[in-house]
A = this chain, B = another copy of it.
């Protein structure tokens, strides 16, 4: 950012970084992160890791979907960095695995509903739509302007690595096994993620109860905004912000709950959430540096 930032990129040195930083963000590819993080922790650093390497508690689950884990013992101390769910654990942690963007957008709407026999825990369908920035900056025909523009497609249908991440967190919350069907889609926009979730209602769950449950569950959470009934989230309204907007509908004809969330995949879905975790770990106000007004368009 010409004229605004004068930080310089320097070669990584675990010794120097650990000695000088209050907290370290590691934003490295999967597998590379697990080679670097132990050296930082050994030297006393607190780490927020943005790869998948420290998001799982169950190493076998990680190894089934990714590869052999080189630092499995660290998984016991790592905390899943979703502050609305794990606030106290994060506060006391020195290693946080920052959640994936899709899991953030799916877990937050579902969390209030996976206990209390409200919905079928094996009936959950998660249909997510992401802007092209989710695919990263590496070069691929997949992100060529002319392939994205006016294109719309699903990918890794029921085989994306974020499904087990979602399931492990929800299973812990539910204290019962949760299985989800998860389909990600690529949408012709730069930023933003909209996730539409479907689940069978087990007994009776009137719209008012859904709204009340969402409002009370996220009552004191500064970055979750519950929409009024009949209003649904729009990625435009969270763009550039750390908000998660959540709306809902009860399909009475099918007795099915529909939850919809919108996040900015690059903020609440990645770096903003990492800063939120930092704030918590450092005893700062949770919202420090994160109250920028959304930047629609």
State which of B1, B152, B247, B291 has its C-beta within 8 Å of the C-beta of A192: B152
Distance (Å) between the CB of A234 and the closest chain B CB?
A: 4
Copies of this chain, whole number: 4
A3, B144: Cβ atoms closer than 8 Å:
no
**A133, A150, A187, A291, most chain B CB atoms within 10 A:** A150
Q: A196 and B187 in contact (CB under 8 A), knowing A129-B152, A260-B154?
A: no
Q: Does A268 contact B (CB under 8 A)?
A: no
Q: A190 and B260 in contact (CB under 8 A), knowing A155-B232, A225-B2, A253-B179?
A: no
B122, A254: Cβ atoms closer than 8 Å:
yes
B1, A294: Cβ atoms closer than 8 Å:
yes
State which of B132, B145, B187 has its C-beta within 8 Å of the C-beta of A143: B145
Q: Does A147 contact B (CB under 8 A)?
A: yes
Q: Does A295 contact B (CB under 8 A)?
A: yes
Within 8 A of B (CB), among A3-55: 3-5
The proximity string for A residues 121-145 relative to B, scoring 1 for CB distances below 8 Å and 0 otherwise, is 0100101010111000101110111
- Chain B residue nearest to A132 (CB atoms) is B145
B144, A144: Cβ atoms closer than 8 Å:
yes
B158, A249: Cβ atoms closer than 8 Å:
yes
Residues of B within 8 A of A131 (CB): 150, 152
A187, B190: Cβ atoms closer than 8 Å:
no
B189, A1: Cβ atoms closer than 8 Å:
no
State which of B151, B243, B247, B256 has its C-beta within 8 Å of the C-beta of A125: B256
Cα A180 to Cα B155 in complex, Å, equals 24
Q: Does A239 contact B (CB under 8 A)?
A: yes
**A146, A187, A198, most chain B CB atoms within 10 A:** A146
Distance (Å) between the CB of A297 and the closest chain B CB?
A: 4
- Chain B residue nearest to A235 (CB atoms) is B152
The contact sample of 17 A-B pairs, CB cut-off 8 A, is A122-B254, A127-B127, A127-B198, A131-B150, A137-B146, A139-B140, A139-B141, A144-B144, A145-B188, A150-B235, A151-B234, A151-B236, A152-B234, A154-B233, A154-B247, A158-B249, A179-B253
